[in-house]
Amino acid sequence: MAATGRTVVHEAAVAKVAAAAARQVPGLHSLGTTPSRALGAIRGAVGQNPGDSAAGVRVEVGQKQAAIDVTLVAQYGIPLQDLADRVRAAVYRAVEALTGLSVIEVNVEIADVYIGEARQGAKPSGIEVQ
């Protein structure tokens, strides 16, 4: 006798799977935009929503299909189109394998490039302090 019933995979679950897959791709600095990450850090500091594990990922889920948008910050020096292609492939594989949904599209938006933190006490280039 076959088991019967219905399985519903919510958007939040799909978004977390997609975010986890994207984070595994070398060259990705972070998910989301700079303002959204800053707002998340502030919320975490005051005890609200400490770290959204699906930040930077939006999904639309139907009964059998999902469409996914990923917004990310790339590491400097990584070819951006290559990074987008690798993120897209990783998200497709993970979401289809772990949720059973058919992914119809994965849109990747590269919002920024992380170059590095300024060193404390470093003087801006070309400016002399007397």
Comparison of pLDDT for 109 and 48, the residue scoring more: 109
**Residue with token string 């019967």:** 4
Residue 92 to residues 39, 105, 120: CA-CA distances in angstroms? Answer: 28, 8, 40
Q: What value does the mean pLDDT take over residues 37-53?
A: 53
List, as one string, the DSSP characters of 99-120: H-PEEEEEEEEEEEEE--PPPT
Q: Please, where are the H alpha helices in the chain?
A: 11-23, 34-45, 80-99
Confidence of residue 97 (pLDDT cuts 50, 70, 90): very high
Higher pLDDT, 43 or 9: 9
pTM, to two decimals:
0.77
Q: Mean of the pLDDT values across residues 6-16? A: 94
Whole-number average pLDDT of the chain: 84
Domains along the chain?
A: 11-44+51-114 (3.30.70.1350)
Q: What's the confidence (pLDDT) of residue 120?
A: 58
Q: What pLDDT shows up at residue 37?
A: 45
pLDDT at residue 128 tops 50? no
- Considering only 29-38, 52-61, 93-102, which range has the smallest mean pLDDT? 29-38
